[in-house]
Amino acid sequence: MTFESFEKKIGVTFRDKSLLRTAFTHRSYINENKGSGMEHNERLEFLGDAVLELVSTVYLFNKYPRKNEGDLTSYRSALVNAATLSEIATELDMDSYLLLSKGESKDKGRARQIILANTIEALIGAIYLDQGYEGAEIFINKYITPLIDDIAKTGKWMDSKSSFQEKAQDKVGFTPSYKVVRETGPDHDKFFTIAVFLGDEKIAEGEGKSKQEAEQNAAKNALTVKKWIY
């Protein structure tokens, strides 16, 4: 597979084409093609995650000089979470370039969203290594940070846990509790499913790359289930 069409799509021409290929290579593909001599994208994902956090932090710091740390953190979390990143990856048609195992390629559900989110982080890591910080910053500020206007306007940045707790205490007199339902993936790339309860009643579940993100998503889903729109 060649990635020239993707390079044209994003406006980035890689000096080292192998970095771009690695960014799209999932661990499952390597496991199925052990003699390929290729490597999977998890190291690039690790790097890209850090670069994305720094660039988005600087962008938000400059864009909102009057916002406090808590609001900026919430904005950033909404901007770089798996749901947002997978949407951007889908818009860029990154799914068409993924190198996956035969089994993994059949799964089009939530697992694919996570893979796409991880892949765009790996892509950022690859751009950083190939084009430097400025190249990564240009990409992020072209495709990711502009979404903050919509996030701020629609309230997607709001702290769902705080909102659900306030509603629950007011309406039913319970403080929500959270419990890890599933924990998958290697230590450096965990994926959590967490359930939120009111008393003994399970209200909803949420997923995320961290316990904090999964709890926020569980609370957000619980607000929808209970029709406590925030």
- Going by C-beta distance under 8 Å and a sequence separation of 6 or more, which residues neighbour residue 134? none
Beta bridge partners of 192: 183, 208
Whether residue 205 contacts residue 195, with contact meaning beta carbons closer than 8 Å, is answered with yes
Q: Confirm whether 170 is a catalytic residue.
A: no
Q: Say how many C-beta atoms besides its own lie within 10 A of residue 50's C-beta.
A: 14
Q: Confirm whether 121 is a catalytic residue.
A: yes
Which residue among the candidates 42, 45, 104, 121 is catalytic per the annotation?
A: 121
Q: What b/e sequence results for 127-157 when a residue is b if at least 16 CB atoms lie within 10 Å of its CB, and e otherwise? A: bbbbbeeebbbebbeebbbeebeebbeeebb
Q: How many residues does the chain have?
A: 230
- Closest by CA position to 120, among listed 185, 191, 49: 49
Q: Which residues are catalytic?
A: 49, 121
